[in-house]
Chains A and B, each alone.
Chain A
Amino acid sequence: MDLDTVKTRAGPREFSPADDLPQEYREAATRMIEFHANSEIMGAYLERPFIRQAPSIDRKLAFSAKVQDEIGHGQLLYRAAESLGVKTREEMLEDLANGDGKFLNCFHYPLKSWVEIPMISFFVDGAAMRRQATLRRTSWEPYAHAMDKVCFEEGFHVKHGEDILKELMTGSRKEQEMTQEAFEEWWPRIIQFFGPTDDKSTHHDFAASVGLKQQSNDELRDAFLDQYIPKARKHGLEIPDEPRIRERDDGTYAVEEGDLDWDEFFTIAKNDYEPGLGQINGRKQAQDAVQWVRDTIEGDATTAGGHAPQAAD
């Protein structure tokens, strides 16, 4: 299939591993899904210490289940990426470990305290869910199928995240203040989740033209603000003065992008941000430490299947 045909046909769930797709499509789809999968893993890596630090048995259970789900999403997504025949899961995990794999800006920052948990589990997960819901109509069928299951599970994460936020914001004055402080620190990063404005985004045009991406960064960011600014206020959080948020006549919101730190964002995008590097290396160390187990079981034929890219027939 040539690229023009791909662009003409590009509809929801249009292409499957049975289709003979051009390399440009395969590479763009791999890059996008690999980024998504890596983000699941690095998000889980960031949150895992809080399974232990959760302040009750039920919270610990929910948080363990949440981190487990994210690893499950990584599993689904790496498989969806692998089915494009460009890279194996092993290669993608290897790249993530050695600092070549890219992932979401928010997961490069350290997570220090329980009061920061809703920033990830409610706001970032809420943002992710906005995007993921649109990706159920992506043109790569295995990706859309992965999104079906991810969206099915993710509602629990967002609602649990909101429940933690509610508890903190109805808790002691100290808890409320600590949470507001965390919100102020995280808010600009959360808005940057959707990346730079469309005219600065490098990969958007192609991904949109072949149906991989269904909504632009700007549309998604605005849709997020419309939904989550009222939510934040309902819980008593004050929206910081910066970045400036404009309310349009129809009640929707837009952010003044120049107020956001794009230097930091692009440093992060290159995996050059110090705390993020620590997290990448920490995960690498853990991955290397169990290499011996993978070596031991790989002699077993029943675990094969991840060795060679599964190219289309």
Chain B
Amino acid sequence: MIWEVFRQEKTGGYHAHCGNVHAPDREMAKQFAAIQHGRRKPTNSLWVVPREEIGEIDTEDVAFGGTTDKSYRWATAYNTTGEDAVEVVESEDEQATAERQRGDD
């Protein structure tokens, strides 16, 4: 049975997919994953998930984010007056980055 492994590098971070292990059950999968995926890279926590439980939908199935203009849902579409709150500016920057990344695909 194949288990997909997700690693969190440090407390508070996100678990990101880092590989997989073959194991007969969850207990063994955790033990194997600890060695195989937690040994070298900084690790605070690992998740193991049965591969067969994972559903996938990809760009062949759906156009993520749509294909028509959705700029109305981005902060970058709006001009404001005067100085914006720092958290608004941060949000807009994050959105601008995400927009650029989408465009790069």
Contact = CB atoms under 8 A, between A and B. Distances in A.
Answer whether A and B are interacting partners.
yes
Interface of A: 12-14, 16, 18, 58, 61-62, 65-66, 69, 126, 129-130, 132-133, 141, 144-145, 151-156, 158-160, 162-163, 166, 227-228, 230-231, 234-235
Q: Interface size bucket, B side?
A: 20 to 34
Contact of B87 (A62, A145, A151, A160): A151
A228 B83 CA distance: 10
Given A12-B12, A14-B11, A153 B79 contact: no
Contacts of A65: 70, 72-73
Contacts of A69: 73
Nearest to A224: B85
Nearest to B78: A159
Interface in B32-80: 45, 70, 72-75, 77-80
Given A65-B73, A159-B78, A231-B82, A126 B88 contact: yes
A160 B78 contact: yes
A17 to B, nearest CB: 10
A16 B90 CA distance: 26
Contacts of A230: 82-83
Contacts of B11: 13-14, 16, 141
Contact of B72 (A58, A151, A166, A227): A58
20 contacts: A16-B45, A18-B45, A61-B72, A62-B72, A65-B70, A151-B91, A152-B98, A155-B89, A155-B90, A155-B92, A156-B91, A158-B85, A159-B78, A159-B84, A162-B78, A163-B78, A227-B85, A231-B82, A234-B81, A235-B81
Interface of B: 11-14, 45, 70, 72-75, 77-92, 94-95, 98
Nearest to A126: B85
A199 to B, nearest CB: 27
A156 B79 contact: no
A171 to B, nearest CB: 14
